[in-house]
Amino acid sequence: MDLRAALAAHRLVAVVRGSDPEAALRTVLTLADEGIELIEVSLTTERALTVIERARKALGPGRPLGAGTVLTADDARAAHRAGADFAVTPGLGEGMSTARELGLPVLAGVMTPTEIIGVRALGAEGLKIFPAAQAGGPGYLKALRGPFPHEVFVPVGGVDETAARAYLAAGATAVGIGSPLVGDAADGGSADALRARARAFRTAVQEATR
């Protein structure tokens, strides 16, 4: 898949992480049903690979599905076998390099300019600023865009609706949203509440990109 194009087109990556595999699967399918096109299942989710496998079958081959928290070479290989279309890492490491060897595009975690240069040299399609809130929020992203005006930045960590608008206004290609969007749905929480949050975030992203 063309991850750079997908991030630019959809501008939101939902990050699913939970303790209940069945609830996590329902969460992925509910988000997809609500029009969230880019979904990442963190490998810290209980039985995450099974969730990815089942979601892949349910969604079909045309919907992008990512594996997150890809730390090791074994993580990357397992995610690839499970049917993930892209990998997301919290930083540099074997997970990133192996994912690239397997043909998976990577959204790689960075915080500093030095890390940005290193990750781009290794072929990452996107740069996940993580943890974004602790790094300095939208102001930090705006500062990074000075020396790196053409990079695909995706802030992740503490991104609520207000922050999503601010990051996109500051030049983010997309935003990654975990608990402010997913809430407790992947632990067995309300699907109706998840749908309402998904619609609110889609509206926020659409309004920020007009």
Catalytic residue among 115, 125, 128, 207: 128
Greatest alpha-carbon pair distance for the chain in Å reads 44
Catalytic residue among 40, 125, 151, 161: 40
Quick check: is 128 catalytic? yes
Nearest-angstrom CA–CA distance, 160 and 163: 5
Pairing of strands 38-42, 106-110: unpaired
Structure tokens given for 61:
């081959």
CA distances from 148 to 117, 120, 141 (A): 9, 11, 10
Q: Which segments of the chain does DSSP mark as H helices, in order? A: 3-10, 21-33, 48-59, 73-82, 94-101, 113-121, 132-135, 137-144, 161-169, 179-182, 191-208
Quick check: is 40 catalytic? yes
- Catalytic residue positions, numbered: 40, 128
